Amino acid sequence: MNAILKGLATSVLAGSLFFTLAPHVFAADNAMAQKFAADRMAAFGKGDAAALLAQYTDDAIAITPTGVLHGRAEIKGLVDGVIAEFAQPGVKFEFLSQISEGDIVTFVWKAETAKNVYDFAAETYVLKDGFATVQTYAAKVTPK
């Protein structure tokens, strides 16, 4: 798990203790996706790892550049690592866009933490009954 966290840097995040919000794009008929996105941003902004983890189904998968995480137990390590990195002082986070349609939500952002520069990051969630069943994450990350 540690190798995944090191190579991954961050996933799961759609808001921050320090962030600049860009305009959102929402389809009119996707209340479930909009609620998921709003809840995700609020939990990330509070550094609430338990709330973020609770948004996944028990058998969810997270597909990252360094591998696939299966279920909440594996995803928990990822979420905890992300929260720890983004809770450090001096984090800069710019939320570039959010698009939600039906049962799919995508976030695009960039950030700088004490450890890494995230030139560009995108994450997508596929939802079922309001919970993430699949997450994908990709980013251009430069370690400091």
pLDDT digits (tens, 9 = 90+) for 50-74: 999 999 999 999 999 999 999 999 9
The Cβ of residue 4 has, within 10 Å, a number of other Cβ atoms equal to: 19
What total number of domains does the chain contain? 1
**3-state class of 50 per DSSP?**
helix
pLDDT value for 11: 36
Report the C-alpha gap between 11 and 82 in whole angstroms.
Answer: 7
pLDDT value for 102: 87
Q: What percent of the chain has pLDDT above 90?
A: 74
Residue 38's domain comprises 2-143
pTM (predicted TM-score): 0.79
Question: What is the mean predicted confidence (pLDDT) over 115-132?
Answer: 96
Half-sphere exposure of 40 (CA within 13 A, CB side): 27
* 127-143 pLDDT tens trace: 999 999 999 999 999 99
Question: What is the mean predicted confidence (pLDDT) over 75-95?
Answer: 94
pLDDT value for 14: 35
* 102-117 pLDDT tens trace: 899 999 999 999 999 9
Place 6 in a pLDDT band, splitting at 50, 70 and 90.
Answer: very low
CATH code: domain of residue 67? 3.10.450.50
Residues 6+ apart with CB under 8 A from 109: 13, 14, 93, 94, 95, 96, 118, 121
